[in-house]
């Protein structure tokens, strides 16, 4: 009986979670929240020591295939990368390990050379905080993203190098 109750509670929690994901508002440029991003696979990670954040970069199936076959300059249409950002904290049990703390935001780059030709072939979007609030007052926010990525035009506007995985 206890197991049944636990299963019921988990089902309700999970249903609530799914609904919460489905109701995330789109970004001001119309990009929908990719609610399955947590199930994407690993591309790389980073530790930004200028703003004390840890980041993990995941990719959808198209991005992962491109990364594994080193077909990333340019990245193919359909590739989507998610960069998940947390404030850094320290592991209590190992003080020299800096680990993800509070969730900051998750941001996406979506490759469609034609659709997003104004911004290097990439659509940009970001959702902030645990409430996943869309970033940007209006659709012009993408020029802020694109401006920051322009110095890496030579690597198809992408900072991330896929990590080596044998």
Site residues (CB under 8 A) for its own copies? 10, 13, 38-42, 44-50, 54-56, 58, 69, 84, 86, 88, 91, 93-94, 96-100, 102-103, 106, 129-132, 151-152, 155, 159-161, 163-166
Q: Are 22 and 116 in contact (CB under 8 A)?
A: no
Q: Are 62 and 40 in contact (CB under 8 A)?
A: no
Minimum distance of its own copies from residue 164's CB (angstroms): 4
Minimum distance of its own copies from residue 71's CB (angstroms): 9
Q: Which of 13, 33, 14 is nearest to 105 (CA)?
A: 33
Residues 6+ apart with CB under 8 A from 142: 29, 119, 123, 124, 136
Q: Which of 58, 55, 109, 134 is nearest to 87 (CA)?
A: 55
Q: Are 81 and 108 in contact (CB under 8 A)?
A: yes
Q: Are 123 and 109 in contact (CB under 8 A)?
A: yes
C-beta of 44 vs 119, nearer to its own copies: 44
C-beta of 78 vs 100, nearer to its own copies: 100
C-beta of 15 vs 115, nearer to its own copies: 15
Minimum distance of its own copies from residue 88's CB (angstroms): 8
C-beta of 90 vs 140, nearer to its own copies: 90
Minimum distance of its own copies from residue 105's CB (angstroms): 10
Residues in the chain, overall count: 166
Q: Are 45 and 57 in contact (CB under 8 A)?
A: yes
Minimum distance of its own copies from residue 133's CB (angstroms): 11
C-beta of 17 vs 139, nearer to its own copies: 17
């Amino acid at each position: 009986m206890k197991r049944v109750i636990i299963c019921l509670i988990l089902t309700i929690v999970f249903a609530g979670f799914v609904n919460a994901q489905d109701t995330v508002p789109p970004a001001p440029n119309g990009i929908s929240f990719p609610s399955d991003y947590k199930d994407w696979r690993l591309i790389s990670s980073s530790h930004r020591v200028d703003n004390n954040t840890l980041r993990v970069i995941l990719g959808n199936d198209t991005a992962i295939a491109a990364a594994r076959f080193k077909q990333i300059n340019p990245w193919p249409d359909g590739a989507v990368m998610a960069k998940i950002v947390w404030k850094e904290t320290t592991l209590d049990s190992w003080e020299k390990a800096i680990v993800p703390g509070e969730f900051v935001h998750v941001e996406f780059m979506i490759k469609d050379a034609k659709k997003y030709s104004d911004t290097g072939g990439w659509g940009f979007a970001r959702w902030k905080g645990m409430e996943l609030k869309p970033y940007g007052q209006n659709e012009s926010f993408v020029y802020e993203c694109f401006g920051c990525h322009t110095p890496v035009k030579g690597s198809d506007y992408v900072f991330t190098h896929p990590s080596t995985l044998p």
